């Protein structure tokens, strides 16, 4: 691992950025090789449909590849497509999606395409290790520094955000947002009906969960048909148990994976599984959020794309749903960032550059993020366009300690995340804390971060 890669998580960790301030969507007219916005995650079904070539050349297209198919995330993407279509009515958008939250299916299909020399024009990729370790060091990307320079963006983004997108003196993708992973969403009416308030510590979580279970309400909604949601839940529990510094150290080798604190976190996680919906292995993240919306479960821990989901089903923050830092993590913002890339050999490179130029602009980000459930990566977003939850996220991002998300590419390399997800698949089933902890410690060694 290069020195630069080693320091990436540290750079992420010390992000303490001031965001200065930072409409209804009409679906864009797009060509959709796979399903358009679907409320539930479906099996990966990448289908490539070439549009008819224009006279004298290849079709004037933009193929953008993502996993944004659920309510909220698809709406945000469509809103940005709408702006693009207005600017470039002659360019046909090919909305290439492979459903499955966190890219659980999309990333593998993308890797196959990239290896086969068949890249889309641009694709969604997380800032940090996922971008740099997977694609940049493999020499599959074009730098986008020139887009930043031509548009005068070097001052429009926090320096630390630019830093985590940089390698060998170049910037390698355009960040469209900042997401928070450690959020607990809850049904205010359900809690109130049971005389409860949202738990702020792990201890309170178990007290509230016991009371709900006794009242016949599922305390915690989980939808881990993609195992990443369990990894996502665990990263919040690790943060609650180890604190910001201890959690950060897990990804730099400074925190011992064999420590009693990690044991405690794993025990808490295993205990939480006593309070989840019985069908969790069959549901997706958005179906789990729907359980909370419907009052069939009281709480769920998910990134703030859930805010986009609740908005997409017309719920109002603090009315139809409530939010709080996941128990025990107040004052810490577990961050990740979605970015858009320029792969080498993009078939419609000029159109990709137009797309990236929009994605990095204030207008593009302010069209996308209010529906996506994220805050702009730029520092000059129009705060008035964002709902009360997102405004609180802006404030927290500006004032909280920042830690990198594991489940969403910021904290660790793709190989390490995959190994972690495999451990979680077993752990969720057998709940064997000792085995999980040993395997996690070994995964850190295998990643080249922890010593033998």
Site for ligand GAL in 273-312 (CB under 6 A): 303, 305
- Short-list 87, 118, 130, 139, CA closest to 356: 87
Count interface residues toward ligand GAL (CB under 6 A): 13
CB of 169 to ligand GAL, least distance (A): 26
Closest chain position to ligand GAL (CB): 101
Q: Judged by CB, which is closer to ligand GAL: 175, or 303? A: 303
Using rule CB under 6 A, residue 110 touches ligand GAL: no
Using rule CB under 6 A, residue 404 touches ligand GAL: no
DSSP-derived letter for residue 135 is I
**Is 127:177 a contact under the CB 8 Å cutoff?**
no
CB under 8 A, 24+ apart: contacts of 150-156: 151/357, 151/360, 151/361, 153/360, 153/378, 156/360, 156/362, 156/378, 156/379, 156/380
CB of 58 to ligand GAL, least distance (A): 30
Q: Which stretch binds ligand GAL (CB under 6 A): 86-94, 97-105, 131-139, 236-244?
A: 97-105
Q: b/e map of 364-379 (b: 16 or more CB within 10 Å)?
A: bbbbbbbbbbbbbbbb
CB of 441 to ligand GAL, least distance (A): 25
Which residue has 């997102």 as its token pair? 390
Which residue has 């810490």 as its token pair? 332
Using rule CB under 6 A, residue 64 touches ligand GAL: no
Q: Judged by CB, which is closer to ligand GAL: 126, or 167? A: 126
CB of 110 to ligand GAL, least distance (A): 13
Q: Judged by CB, which is closer to ligand GAL: 91, or 283? A: 283
Interface pick for ligand GAL out of 68, 157, 257, 368 (rule CB under 6 A): 68
Q: Judged by CB, which is closer to ligand GAL: 342, or 371? A: 371
Tokens of 56: 């004298």
CB of 103 to ligand GAL, least distance (A): 6
Rg (CA), the chain: 21
Q: Which stretch binds ligand GAL (CB under 6 A): 23-31, 52-60, 67-75, 200-208?
A: 67-75
Interface pick for ligand GAL out of 73, 82, 121, 130 (rule CB under 6 A): 73
Name the burial class of residue 42, with classes exposed (0-12), middle (13-18) and buried (19+) by CB atoms within 10 angstroms of its CB.
middle
**Is 307:93 a contact under the CB 8 Å cutoff?**
no
In angstroms, what CA-CA distances link 192 with 196, 207, 212, 284? 6, 15, 11, 26
- Short-list 210, 39, 46, CA closest to 118: 46
Cα separation, 108 vs 128, whole angstroms? 18
CB of 174 to ligand GAL, least distance (A): 15
Using rule CB under 6 A, residue 130 touches ligand GAL: no
CB of 181 to ligand GAL, least distance (A): 9
Contacts with ligand GAL, residue ranges (CB under 6 A): 67-68, 73, 101-103, 126, 179, 303, 305, 336, 338, 408
């Amino acid at each position: 691992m290069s020195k630069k890669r080693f320091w990436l998580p540290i750079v992420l960790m010390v992000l303490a950025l001031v965001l200065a301030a930072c409409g209804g969507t009409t679906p864009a007219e797009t060509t959709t090789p796979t399903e358009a916005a679907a409320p539930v995650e479906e099996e990966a079904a990448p289908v490539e449909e070439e549009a008819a070539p224009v006279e004298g050349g290849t079709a004037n297209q933009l193929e953008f590849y993502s996993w944004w198919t659920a309510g909220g995330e698809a709406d945000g993407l469509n809103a940005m497509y709408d702006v693009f279509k207005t600017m470039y009515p002659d360019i046909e958008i090919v909305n290439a999606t492979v459903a499955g939250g966190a890219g659980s299916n999309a990333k593998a299909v993308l890797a196959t395409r990239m290896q086969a020399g068949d890249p889309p024009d641009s694709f969604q990729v997380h800032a940090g290790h996922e971008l740099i370790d997977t694609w940049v060091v493999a020499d599959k990307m074009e730098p986008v520094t020139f887009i930043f320079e031509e548009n005068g963006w070097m001052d429009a983004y926090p320096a630390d955000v630019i830093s985590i997108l940089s390698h060998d003196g170049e910037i390698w993708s355009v960040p469209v947002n900042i997401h928070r992973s450690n959020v607990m969403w809850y049904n205010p009416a359900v809690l109130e009906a049971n005389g409860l308030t949202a738990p702020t510590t792990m201890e309170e979580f178990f007290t509230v969960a016991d009371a709900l279970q006794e009242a016949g309400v599922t305390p915690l909604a989980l939808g881990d048909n993609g195992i990443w949601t369990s990894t996502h839940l665990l990263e919040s529990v690790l943060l609650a148990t180890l604190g910001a510094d201890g959690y950060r150290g897990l990804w730099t080798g400074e925190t011992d994976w064999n420590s009693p604190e990690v044991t405690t976190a794993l025990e808490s996680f295993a205990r939480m599984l006593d309070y989840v919906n019985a069908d969790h292995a069959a549901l997706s993240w958005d179906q789990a959020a729907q359980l909370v919306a419907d009052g069939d479960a009281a709480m769920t821990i998910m990134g703030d794309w859930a805010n986009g989901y609740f908005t997409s089903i017309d719920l109002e923050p603090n009315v139809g749903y409530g939010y709080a830092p996941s128990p025990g993590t107040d004052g810490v913002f577990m961050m990740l960032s979605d970015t858009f890339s320029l792969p080498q050999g993009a078939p419609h490179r000029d159109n990709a550059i137009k797309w990236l130029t929009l994605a990095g602009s204030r207008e593009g980000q302010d069209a996308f993020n209010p529906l996506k459930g994220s805050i702009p990566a730029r520092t000059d977003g129009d705060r008035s366009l964002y709902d009360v939850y997102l405004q609180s996220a802006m404030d927290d991002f500006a004032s909280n300690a920042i830690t990198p998300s594991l489940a969403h590419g910021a904290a660790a390399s793709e190989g390490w995340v995959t190994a972690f997800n495999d451990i979680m698949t077993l752990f969720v089933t057998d709940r064997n804390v000792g085995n999980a902890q040993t395997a996690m410690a070994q995964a850190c060694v295998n990643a080249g971060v922890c010593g033998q």
